[in-house]
C-alpha cells in the first residue's frame, strides 16, 4: 500500500476572505507548511502579514495584493523567521517596504540559512518552493513596538520577546480589535515547539505563557492564528490553558522524580486524551522536552 504524500505547501490566493472591514486573510486551507496570510488596508497603504514559503508563493500573494492595493503603497512584515512565514519576502522587496523587529532580524541572520537547508530535506514539494530564496535586509527595523499609519488606520507591530522564537511579533489592528499571532497561536493544533537541540533551543514555554497572558489582557476579539481557522478570543484562552497544562504536568512529575522519558510518555497520552481532534501531536513531545529543560535550568539556578 502506497503512503499518500502530503499536499504541496502552495498558497491558494483565490480563497481570500474579508474578516473585518479592510482586513483580509488568505487561509491556510488546512495544508501543512502553509500559513494564514493577512492583508490590512488603510486609505493610503496596505500591509501584508507573512508571505508563504518561498518566492514562488510570495509572487502569487503579491499579485493578489496588487489588485487590492490599487496603487496604494504596499508594506510587508512577518510574524517570525520560519520559512513558511517569511522566506518569500524577497519577492516583495523591490516594490514594498519591509518591516521587521530587531530580534527577528537576528534570528534570520543567525539561523535563516540553517532552516532553509533543513526544510529542503522535507521532500520535493517543499524543496520546489524554496528555490531562489534570498534574505532581504528590511527597510525599517524596530526594537519593541512600531506603529504603521496606513491612512485612517494604525497598525501596531509588537515584538513579544522569546516564546515560539526569539523574534516573534504580533500585529494588532486596534480599530478592529484584531490580532495576527503567527505561530504563537494555532487553532485545533498542538502548539509548535521548535525544540531541536543542540541546533535550536530558543523556544521558551514559560515565556510563551507570559506572552499569552499579555494577549489576553489586550482584549482583542478577532484572532488570526498562524495556522487554522480565524477565531475569537476564546482561542487565546485555549492556547494559554494548553501551555499551562504542559508546564504543570511536566513540572509536577519532575518534582516527583520521574524520568524525562516517563514524563514524556505520560503527558503525551494525557494531552491526546484532552484534545483528541487536534493535529500536530508530534509537537507534544517537543513541548514536554522544552519544559523539562526549563525546569532543570530553574532548579540549577535556585
Span 79-137, pLDDT tens digits: 999 999 999 999 999 999 999 999 999 999 999 999 999 999 999 999 999 999 999 99
Residue 97 lies in a domain: yes
| Cβ(79)–Cβ(181) below 8 Å | yes
Q: pLDDT at position 7, please?
A: 87
Does a structural domain hold residue 239? yes
Cα dihedral sign for 217, 219, 220, 223? positive
Q: Which helix (H) or strand (E) holds 59?
A: helix 54-69
With 0.85 as the threshold, say if the pTM is over it: yes
Residue 19 lies in a domain: yes
> Does the residue 3 lie in any domain?
no
Give me the pLDDT at residue 6, please. 73
* C-alpha–C-alpha distance, residues 292 and 204, integer Å: 11
Do 66 and 43 contact (CB within 8 A), yes or no? no
pLDDT of residue 4: 56
* Neighbouring C-beta atoms of residue 219, cutoff 10 Å: 10
- Cα separation of 8 and 122, whole Å? 11
Angle value at C-alpha 228, between 224 and 229, nearest 5 degrees: 60
User: How many angstroms separate the Cα of 109 from the Cα of each of 3, 33, 49, 51, 144?
Assistant: 37, 21, 20, 18, 18
* Count of other CB atoms within 10 angstroms of residue 125: 14
* Distance in angstroms (rounded) separating the CA atoms of residues 191 and 240: 10
In a domain, 7, yes or no: no
The DSSP bridge pattern shows strands 178-186 and 17-20 to be unpaired
Which residues in the chain land under pLDDT 70?
1-5
Asked whether the beta carbons of 218 and 299 are under 8 A apart, the reply is no
Instruction: Measure Cα distances from 283 to 16, 72, 78, 239, 290 in Å.
Output: 29, 41, 22, 14, 11
Number of H helices, E strands in the chain: 9, 12
pLDDT tens by residue, 229-241: 999 999 999 999 9
In a domain, 278, yes or no: yes
Please give the Cα distance from 38 to 210 (Å, whole number): 25
> Does residue 224 lie in a domain region?
yes
Is 8 domain-assigned? Answer: no
Contact indicator for 42, 150 with CB cutoff of 8 Å: yes
Which residue range forms the structural domain that includes residue 255? 13-301
- Beta strand 178-186 with 96-101 is unpaired
Give the integer Cα–Cα distance in Å for 95 and 106: 23
Q: What pLDDT is stored for residue 5 in this prediction?
A: 67
Residue 301 confidence (pLDDT): 84
How many Cβ atoms from other residues are within 10 Å of residue 35's Cβ? 29
Whichever domain contains 81, its CATH number is 3.60.15.10
Cell of 58: 510570495
Q: How many domains does the chain contain in total?
A: 1
Within 8 A by CB and 6+ apart from 263, the residues are 250, 253, 254, 288, 292
CB 62 within 8 A of CB 34: no
Amino acid at each position: 500500500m502506497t503512503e499518500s504524500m502530503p499536499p504541496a505547501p502552495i498558497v491558494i490566493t483565490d480563497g481570500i476572505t474579508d474578516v473585518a472591514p479592510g482586513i483580509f486573510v488568505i487561509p491556510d486551507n488546512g495544508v501543512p507548511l502553509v500559513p494564514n496570510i493577512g492583508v490590512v488596508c488603510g486609505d493610503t497603504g496596505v500591509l501584508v502579514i507573512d508571505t508563504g514559503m518561498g518566492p514562488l508563493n510570495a509572487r502569487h500573494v503579491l499579485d493578489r495584493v496588487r489588485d487590492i492595493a490599487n496603487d496604494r503603497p504596499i508594506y510587508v512584515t512577518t510574524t517570525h523567521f520560519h520559512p513558511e512565514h517569511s522566506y518569500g519576502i524577497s519577492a516583495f522587496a523591490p516594490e514594498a517596504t519591509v518591516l521587521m523587529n530587531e530580534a527577528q532580524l537576528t534570528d534570520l541572520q543567525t539561523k535563516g540559512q540553517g532552516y532553509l537547508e533543513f526544510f529542503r530535506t522535507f521532500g520535493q514539494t517543499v524543496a520546489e518552493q524554496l528555490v531562489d530564496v534570498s534574505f532581504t535586509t528590511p527597510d525599517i527595523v524596530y526594537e519593541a513596538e512600531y506603529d504603521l499609519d496606513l491612512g485612517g488606520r494604525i497598525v501596531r507591530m509588537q515584538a513579544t520577546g522569546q516564546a515560539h522564537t526569539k523574534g516573534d511579533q504580533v500585529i494588532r489592528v486596534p480599530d478592529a480589535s484584531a490580532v495576527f499571532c503567527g505561530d504563537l497561536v494555532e487553532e485545533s493544533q498542538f502548539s509548535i515547539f521548535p525544540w531541536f537541540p543542540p541546533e535550536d533551543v530558543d523556544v521558551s514555554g514559560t515565556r510563551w505563557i507570559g506572552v499569552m497572558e499579555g494577549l489576553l489582557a489586550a482584549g482583542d476579539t478577532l484572532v488570526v492564528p498562524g495556522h487554522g481557522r480565524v477565531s475569537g478570543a476564546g482561542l487565546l484562552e485555549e492556547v494559554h490553558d494548553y501551555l499551562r497544562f504542559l508546564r504543570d504536568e511536566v513540572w509536577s512529575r519532575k518534582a516527583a522524580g520521574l524520568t524525562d522519558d516517563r514524563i514524556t510518555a505520560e503527558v503525551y497520552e494525557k494531552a491526546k486524551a484532552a484534545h483528541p481532534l487536534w493535529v500536530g501531536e508530534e509537537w507534544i513531545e517537543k513541548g514536554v522536552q522544552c519544559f523539562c529543560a526549563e525546569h532543570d535550568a530553574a532548579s540549577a539556578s535556585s
